[in-house]
Structure 1
Amino acid sequence: MGQFIQFAINGLMSGAIYALIAVGIVSVYKATKVVNFAHGYLIMFGAYFYFTFAVIIPGMEGAPAWLASWKPAWMVEMREGLTMFSPLGAVLDWAANIPRIVFGLLGALFCNALLGLLVERTLMRPLMGQSVFAMIMVTVGLISILSGAASLIWTADAAFVPHIAPNTPIRFELFGTMIFLFGADIVNMIIALLIFGGIVAMVKFTKGGVAIRATAEDQSTAYSMGISVPKVFSRAWVLACTTGAVAGAILATRNGISPSLGLFGFSVLAIVLMGGLDSYVGCFIAAMSVGVLEAMTQWKLGGEWAEIVPYVAVLVVIIFRPHGLMGQKEVERI
């Protein structure tokens, strides 16, 4: 029973990250009716931007010493005498990196937002009014552009980036089994859930959210009601890229960074299809379900089998519900 709970918690933490990534795909689709196949590579850029501002720039000559490592006298005194795996030591090591973590997150958010705005203005906006299929194919072509650009700009993989939260090991006994978690994973899950909930509330209750929903229903009617559809498109892309920057920073601390990180987006795209392309709630349910299913599959069958879980799950769901768990069913009249 204890092992079951251990893997279930691990699955929920992974599911929260999936939900954070999925919210970007759903936001773009709700506003533009475009499935963004390149979202995983926008997340990859967010991870590299975090690496740049949190690791590369603080390590350059001329960078302020406090940005590279903030170690006031009181912190040095507290660190002396602590064992290697001391929880307090882990917190103090994280605290020394707070300036570079904050700088990295702000830089990643700003640069990824600019990247999203650039993509929307130069690639998406000229196709407004054209076939949605053409816009989708642009996102497919964008995959090669972003992957190649990342390989040219960042010439090596990044094995280390500072954790967003203290990575303190947490142990407790449950049903006779020792449960082992990391503090950074728990905080990452909380951050992901808070951002997801905040975006859903924004779409439901704010004027900007109403504009997104109105544009999703009928762009022509939204125009006639005074809604600037191009601005809605821009906001959706910027929102997707900023959430992608946070997801990229979290994934960077969990898995390291390489151009292959962009492939992660295809697994999440399968989760979005499973939950419903236009449903935040459906994608949340699908993300949590797939996260737990992956963890249980890894427990019983091994990591190789866990990789195919999102695709098997979406195939099973769309056979019975082609529009996803909670997606809006579209009726076409001839």
Structure 2
Amino acid sequence: MGQLLQFTINGLMAGAIYALIAVGIVSVFKATRVVNFAHGYLIMFGAYFYFTFAVLVPQAAWAPDWLASWQPGWMMDMREGLPMFSPLAAVLDWLANVPRILLGLAGALLCNAALGLVIERTLMRPLMGQSVFAMIMLTVGLISILSGSAQLIWTSDAEFVPSLAPNTPIRFALFGQTIFLFGADLANMVIALLIFAGIVLMVRYTKSGIAIRATAEDQSTAYSMGISVPKVFSRAWVLASTTGAVAGAILATRNGISPALGLFGFSVLAIVLMGGLDSYLGVFLAAMIVGVLEALTQWQLGGEWAGIVPYVAVLVVILIRPHGLFGAKEIERI
């Protein structure tokens, strides 16, 4: 029972990260009706941007010393006599990295937003009015461009980056069983869920969100109501890119950085298809289900089997519900 609870909680934490990644794919689809196959590589660029501003810039000769490692006097005093692996020592290690963590997040958000805007303005917007298939194939071509560019700009070697939160071990009892977690994983889950909830509320209640929903329903009608459809497209791509930057930073702290990080997007695309391309609720539930199934599969069968779980799950769901768990069924009138 204890291991079942442990792996279930681990799966829920992983599912929250999947949901954060999936929200970018859904946002672009809701606004443009285009499935962005290159979203995983936007996440990869976000991870590399975080690495650049959190690791490379603080190590530069011109950067101030406090940016690389913030060590005020009171922190040095607190370190004296602490065991190496004590929770307080982990918190102090994280505090020393706070300036470069904040710089890394700010740089990743701004640079990835600019990248998403450039892609939309230079590649996607000229295809407005053309077939959706042409735009989808363009995102497929982007995969090679972004992957190759990352290897040219940075190295292909995996790199270490600072965690977004203190990685202190946490133990607690649940239903009489001891559960063990890491603080960074718990914080990553909270960050992912807050961003996901914020985007859902924005799309539902703000003017920008209403414009996205109206454009998704009918672009011609949206134009006639005074909505700038090109601006809606740009906002959707920027939204997907910024959420991808946060997801990239989280994945970088968990798995390191390499161009292979972009492949993560294909697993999440399967989750989006399972939940429904235009349903935030659907992809959230699908992300949580797949996260738990992966964790339980890893527990029972080993990690090599966990990688196929999203694809098996989406095949089963699509056979029963072709539009996903909560996807809207399209009705064509003749």
TM-score, normalization: structure 2? 0.99
Task: Answer yes or no: is the 8 Å Cα contact 1:51–1:158 preserved in 2.
Answer: no
Task: Answer yes or no: is the 8 Å Cα contact 2:156–2:259 preserved in 1.
Answer: no
- Opposite residue 11 of structure 1, the aligned amino acid is G
Residue 301 of structure 1: aligned partner? 301
Q: CA deviation at 1:35?
A: 0.1
Residue 187 of structure 2: aligned partner? 187
Residue 157 of structure 2: aligned partner? 157
Q: Report the Cα distance in structure 2 between the residues aligned to 1:174 and 1:271, rounded to whole angstroms.
A: 29
* Structure 1 unmatched ranges of 5 or more: none
- How big is each residue's C-alpha offset from its partner over 1:212-269, in whole Å with a ceiling of 9 and x where there is no partner? 0000000000000000000000000000000000000000000000000000000000
Alignment of 1:302-317 (within 5 A): 302-317=302-317
Q: CA deviation at 1:175?
A: 5.4
- How big is each residue's C-alpha offset from its partner over 1:185-211, in whole Å with a ceiling of 9 and x where there is no partner? 000000000000000000000000000
The alignment partner of 2:59 has SS state of coil
Q: Report the Cα distance in structure 1 between the residues aligned to 2:129 and 2:174, rounded to whole angstroms.
A: 58
The alignment partner of 2:42 has SS state of helix
Over the aligned positions, Cα root-mean-square deviation in angstroms equals: 0.9
Q: Report the Cα distance in structure 1 between the residues aligned to 2:203 and 2:64, rounded to whole angstroms.
A: 40
The alignment partner of 1:164 has SS state of coil
The alignment partner of 1:187 has SS state of helix
- Opposite residue 23 of structure 1, the aligned amino acid is V
- Opposite residue 48 of structure 2, the aligned amino acid is Y
* Structure 2 unmatched ranges of 5 or more: none
- How big is each residue's C-alpha offset from its partner over 1:119-166, in whole Å with a ceiling of 9 and x where there is no partner? 000000000000000000000000000000000000142431000000
- Opposite residue 96 of structure 1, the aligned amino acid is A
Q: Report the Cα distance in structure 2 between the residues aligned to 1:155 and 1:257, rounded to whole angstroms.
A: 10
Q: CA deviation at 1:172?
A: 2.8
Residue 243 of structure 1: aligned partner? 243
Q: Report the Cα distance in structure 2 between the residues aligned to 1:156 and 1:71, rounded to whole angstroms.
A: 32
Residue 135 of structure 2: aligned partner? 135
Q: CA deviation at 1:176?
A: 5.9
Q: CA deviation at 1:70?
A: 0.3
- Opposite residue 210 of structure 2, the aligned amino acid is V
Identity of aligned residues (%): 82
TM-score, normalization: structure 1? 0.99
Q: Report the Cα distance in structure 2 between the residues aligned to 1:3 and 1:175, rounded to whole angstroms.
A: 12
Residue 327 of structure 2: aligned partner? 327
Residue 256 of structure 1: aligned partner? 256
Task: Answer yes or no: is the 8 Å Cα contact 1:41–1:265 preserved in 2.
Answer: yes
- Opposite residue 252 of structure 1, the aligned amino acid is A
